[in-house]
Amino acid sequence: MNLDIWFQFLLFCTLINYVILMIWCMLFVFARNWIRQVHGKWFRLSDASFDVIHYSGMALYKIGILLFNLTPLVAIYLMNQG
Protein backbone atom coordinates (compact mmCIF):
# COMPACT_ATOMS: atom_id res chain seq x y z
CA MET A 1 0.00 0.00 0.00
CA ASN A 2 1.18 3.51 -0.78
CA LEU A 3 2.66 5.52 2.10
CA ASP A 4 0.74 8.61 1.01
CA ILE A 5 -2.54 6.85 1.77
CA TRP A 6 -1.28 5.90 5.24
CA PHE A 7 -0.04 9.45 5.79
CA GLN A 8 -3.44 10.92 4.92
CA PHE A 9 -5.23 8.32 7.05
CA LEU A 10 -3.05 8.98 10.11
CA LEU A 11 -3.31 12.73 9.64
CA PHE A 12 -7.11 12.49 9.52
CA CYS A 13 -7.15 10.20 12.58
CA THR A 14 -4.86 12.55 14.50
CA LEU A 15 -7.04 15.55 13.74
CA ILE A 16 -10.23 13.73 14.74
CA ASN A 17 -8.69 12.51 17.99
CA TYR A 18 -7.38 15.95 18.93
CA VAL A 19 -10.81 17.46 18.24
CA ILE A 20 -12.38 14.84 20.53
CA LEU A 21 -9.78 15.62 23.21
CA MET A 22 -10.42 19.36 22.91
CA ILE A 23 -14.20 18.86 23.16
CA TRP A 24 -13.72 16.69 26.25
CA CYS A 25 -11.48 19.33 27.82
CA MET A 26 -13.89 22.17 27.00
CA LEU A 27 -16.84 20.22 28.40
CA PHE A 28 -14.87 19.49 31.54
CA VAL A 29 -13.96 23.15 31.98
CA PHE A 30 -17.29 24.76 31.08
CA ALA A 31 -19.87 22.04 31.86
CA ARG A 32 -18.21 20.27 34.77
CA ASN A 33 -21.30 20.42 36.98
CA TRP A 34 -23.50 18.90 34.27
CA ILE A 35 -21.01 16.07 33.66
CA ARG A 36 -20.75 15.54 37.41
CA GLN A 37 -24.55 15.34 37.65
CA VAL A 38 -24.78 12.79 34.83
CA HIS A 39 -22.02 10.62 36.34
CA GLY A 40 -23.52 11.06 39.79
CA LYS A 41 -26.58 9.12 38.65
CA TRP A 42 -24.40 6.09 37.92
CA PHE A 43 -21.55 6.33 40.41
CA ARG A 44 -20.94 7.80 43.84
CA LEU A 45 -17.76 9.80 43.37
CA SER A 46 -16.23 12.53 45.44
CA ASP A 47 -15.20 15.73 43.67
CA ALA A 48 -11.53 14.79 43.96
CA SER A 49 -12.12 11.31 42.48
CA PHE A 50 -14.17 12.78 39.67
CA ASP A 51 -11.40 15.23 38.79
CA VAL A 52 -8.68 12.57 38.99
CA ILE A 53 -10.61 10.21 36.74
CA HIS A 54 -11.19 12.84 34.07
CA TYR A 55 -7.68 14.31 34.15
CA SER A 56 -6.18 10.80 34.03
CA GLY A 57 -8.48 9.85 31.18
CA MET A 58 -7.51 12.93 29.19
CA ALA A 59 -3.82 12.27 29.83
CA LEU A 60 -4.12 8.63 28.77
CA TYR A 61 -6.07 9.60 25.67
CA LYS A 62 -3.42 12.17 24.76
CA ILE A 63 -0.63 9.61 25.21
CA GLY A 64 -2.58 7.21 23.00
CA ILE A 65 -2.86 9.85 20.29
CA LEU A 66 0.86 10.53 20.47
CA LEU A 67 1.82 6.84 20.37
CA PHE A 68 -0.66 5.50 17.83
CA ASN A 69 -1.31 8.45 15.53
CA LEU A 70 1.31 11.18 15.72
CA THR A 71 4.46 9.04 15.99
CA PRO A 72 3.67 6.87 12.94
CA LEU A 73 2.62 10.02 11.08
CA VAL A 74 5.99 11.66 11.72
CA ALA A 75 7.81 8.43 10.81
CA ILE A 76 5.99 8.18 7.47
CA TYR A 77 6.63 11.87 6.82
CA LEU A 78 10.36 11.37 7.42
CA MET A 79 10.42 8.27 5.24
CA ASN A 80 8.85 10.18 2.36
CA GLN A 81 11.44 12.96 2.65
CA GLY A 82 14.32 10.58 2.00
At residue 82, does pLDDT exceed 80?
no
pLDDT attached to residue 15: 98
Burial (CB count <10 Å: 0-12, 13-18, 19+), residue 69 = buried
Give me the pLDDT at residue 64, please: 98
Query: What is each CA distance from 9 to 62, 66, 73, in whole angstroms?
Result: 18, 15, 9
pLDDT category of residue 75 using cuts at 50, 70 and 90: very high
pLDDT digits (tens, 9 = 90+) for 13-58: 999 999 999 999 999 999 999 999 999 899 999 999 999 999 999 9
